[in-house]
Structure 1
Amino acid sequence: MNLFNWRKTRGPSLNAEQLQRREQLLPAAAASELPLHQQRWVVLDLETSGLNTNRDLVLSIGAIVIEDGAIDLGQQFECTLQRDAQPTNDSVLIHGLGPSAIAAGVAPADGLLACMEFIGASPVLAFHAPFDQRMLSRALYDSLGYKLQHLFIDLADVAPLLYPDAGIRKGGLDDWVRYCGLHVQERHNASADALVTAELALILFNRARRQGLDSLIELTRRLQRWRQRAQAPSL
């Protein structure tokens, strides 16, 4: 292996404390048969420098816990990651993270370690979860050499699964907020969006229980069948 390739593959440079924290992160829990209201969930939202999952960066992370069937306001996480100056684009204009806020953020390795310590072994809820999952996964690998294994549940799929008559097959979070009658005071920063998503999740879990879906395993199975039907070609 030449020197150039060795430098490319050696991985991120972490200090002893960061390495110890990485080794102590809890492994992801397997899908559980616990009733939905007995499951600890982490609701996650990311603000990013753009929508390209191969190039753009995670700028801030917001998360909140649902436990014992309720949002636990005492378990919240918020972090802005320190990044090089980012070009102004539509995404930055929406979330409002200017150069000074990004420059004052924490080192990415420390912020991402704190995020995973907060998540613990819990499954993750997000709206348009595949995007958040890919962005967080790449950030963790690039900054920590850590491979994300946690289960992500996409509420953008759960909502139309449970409310097929709503006519919102590919709607955004705001569409479902309006449909469910939620009152939102703030949007478009990671913490506020995580809280709104958590409020929507509680409505969806109540609906799921009334439809006989009262565990993570049952919910994921139903989602898989629903996606397969949605992707099947029409005859």
Structure 2
Amino acid sequence: MKLFNWFKKDEKVYPEFWQSYLSCFDSKVKKNLEQRIVAFDTETTGLDYRTDVILSIGAVGIYENTISVSDYLELFLSQDIFKKETVPIHGILKEGKEEKIIETEAVIQFLGFIKDAVLVGHHVSFDVKMINEALKRMGLGKLKNRSIDTDAMYQKFKGLQEDQHTGLDELCGIFKIQSSDRHTAIGDAYITALIFLRLKNKWK
């Protein structure tokens, strides 16, 4: 018994929010309902997921063929790393008017929002990597959610090669989507959700 207890003490105890997130993927408690989809985007200090950090996260829920505008998340993070040269792109100032939270709290809220949803993003692998790096700094594992890339969807729809990428602005033009909120996380998440639904409906 003492030996058993000694080994048990070495087991890592994960925080409750992480255990709650992982439990969403427990097949034993899954209900036979249509999978929730969440379109999301991150604004960052740069494009290197290993050294850059998240400035803002935007996400919006999709149910069947409808974007639920009441089911959304918008977070701004405290900027321990500040790159003034990127401000003209995302418009987020270090001491701006937005209420900012630390990275750990932002990740907790993000996991609580997405749960086991399928994640949709434009070049989504980058945004997933940014979240995973934040999780790594917290001593946790990677996201378990399945993800869909709207760029890859458009490539398959048009029969394009893997290296023939289409930008979000270009897709807005193709699908006649207003892009007034471009380069805000919540704005890009909403635009991505619209593009996802347009492509999904064209495949029907």
Q: 1:24-63 maps to which residues of 2 (within 5 A)?
A: 24-27=20-23, 29=25, 38-63=34-59
Deviation of 1:40 after TM superposition, in Å, equals 1.3
Alignment length (residue pairs)? 183
- Choose from 6, 11, 16 the match for 1:20: 16
Match of 1:67 in 2: 63
C-alpha distance in 2 between matches for 1:122 and 1:139: 19
Runs ≥4 residues deviating over 6 A = none
| Greater helix share, structure number | 1
Identity of aligned residues (%): 27
C-alpha distance in 2 between matches for 1:24 and 1:143: 16
Q: 1:186–1:103: structure 2 CA closer, same or farther, 3 Å change rule?
A: closer
Partner SS state of residue 47, structure 2? coil
Unaligned runs of 5+ in 2: 1-12, 27-33
Match of 1:78 in 2: 74
- Choose from 134, 156, 164 the match for 1:139: 134
Q: 1:39–1:20: structure 2 CA closer, same or farther, 3 Å change rule?
A: closer
Partner SS state of residue 164, structure 2? coil
2:181 is equivalent to residue 198 of structure 1: no
Match of 1:129 in 2: 124
Q: 1:76-225 maps to which residues of 2 (within 5 A)?
A: 76-89=72-85, 91-101=86-96, 104-143=99-138, 145-164=140-159, 169-209=164-204
TM-score by length of 2: 0.81
| Greater strand share, structure number | 2
C-alpha distance in 1 between matches for 2:120 and 2:97: 25
Computed over aligned residues only, the root mean square deviation of the Cα atoms, in angstroms, reads 2.4
Q: 1:134–1:180: structure 2 CA closer, same or farther, 3 Å change rule?
A: same
TM-score by length of 1: 0.71
C-alpha distance in 2 between matches for 1:144 and 1:108: 13
Deviation of 1:69 after TM superposition, in Å, equals 1.7
